[in-house]
Structure 1
Amino acid sequence: MSTEKQLYTVSIYTENNIGLLNRVSAIFQRRHINIESLNTSPSEIEGVSKFTIVVNMDEINIKKILGQIEKQVEVIKAYYHSLDDIIYQISGLFKIKSVLLFEERQIQNIIKESNARIVTVNKDFFILEKSGKKEEIVALYNQLSEFGIMQYTRSGLIAVTKEEMKISELLETYNN
């Protein structure tokens, strides 16, 4: 078991109850662990939610935290994975002045080379969307910031495991 810090993705399958997110984040807060990314969404089973939390810590402590998380009544099961064990994406949205789209040829090249897509265009601004690894989103941000970004936001990490987890079978037995 590793005592070296690295990024881990924690997947928590839960009932969808008010207040659980606060209690789960408090578990990390009490140990002074910063949550790098957090996403909540429905899971593949109706009525079951999935939290995807990214933290930078060692494996010994992530196992301790999972034990505390699983003590929460609404938590069905919690897992942790290194970034090598998952397939993940992050999304970024960029709001930029429309005039740049037509007057700055380089903006069009940046869009094409980064595989970003234009979501909407109006006379005042256009919105770009880029999904990929964090490094790709940050690189696009750095390129576009030279021209001026009106607004920017980045999502939390969403992930699925490379290996079959059979979580659906566990959740189906839970629902019956």
Structure 2
Amino acid sequence: MDTEIKQYTVSVYTENNIGLLNRISAIFQRRHINIESLNTSPSEIEGVSRFTIVINITESQMKKIQGQIEKQVEVIKAYYHTEDETIYQESCLFKIKSDLLFDERQIQNIIKESNARIVTVNKEFFVLEKSGRTQEIELLYRELSVFGIMQFTRSGRIAVTKDEMKISTMLEAFQH
């Protein structure tokens, strides 16, 4: 049996129904598995939603969870992929005191080097936006926390697979 814990990105294609998020999260909760990241959005198919969930578990646990998710009536299909099989991004916002932007040349260098973008500036604060891989966002967080972060928020992972997922063909049949 495999015991190696890996990070998986789970893509769940669903009909958009109330209460489904609770039932899907309960599948993880019952097994005491922490969800690292969760994003829901429309998918490439009209009327179909996509959940993108990031978890750290073994592959045998992942296969069981995939089966449990697919038992939900509204779930059309669930896929899971390792990090090297996906192209992903996360996004975050930092709110920082404005005087630091003008008084600390180092902050200006950090912003430039990290490819972060200033979204807004006023007398009290400025807001930075950064999109990238987890490690890039964590690095920027560490660099800025030295100066003090007033607020920080981060999105769930959004991901596409390097290989084609056969969901589109499946859904054409589903919609007829």
Query: TM-score scaled by structure 2?
Result: 0.97
Deviation at 1:174, TM superposition (A): 1.5
Equivalent residues in 2 for 1:14-163, closer than 5 Å: 14-163=14-163
Count of paired positions: 176
Q: What letter matches 2:56 in structure 1?
A: N
Deviation at 1:72, TM superposition (A): 0.5
SS of alignment partner, residue 72 of structure 1: coil
Please give the alpha-carbon distance, in whole angstroms, between the structure 1 residues aligned to 2:173 and 2:111: 46
**Unaligned regions of 5+ residues in structure 2, if any?**
none
Q: Any conservation in 2 of the 1:107–1:144 contact (CA below 8 Å)? A: yes
Deviating beyond 2 angstroms after TM superposition, the runs of 4 or more aligned structure 1 residues are none
Q: What letter matches 1:3 in structure 2?
A: T
Deviation at 1:173, TM superposition (A): 2.2
Deviation at 1:171, TM superposition (A): 1.9
Deviation at 1:148, TM superposition (A): 0.9
Q: What letter matches 1:153 in structure 2?
A: T
Identity of aligned residues (%): 77
Deviation at 1:77, TM superposition (A): 0.2
Query: TM-score scaled by structure 1?
Result: 0.97
Deviation at 1:122, TM superposition (A): 1.2
- Computed over aligned residues only, the root mean square deviation of the Cα atoms, in angstroms, reads 1.0
1:165 aligns with 2:165: yes
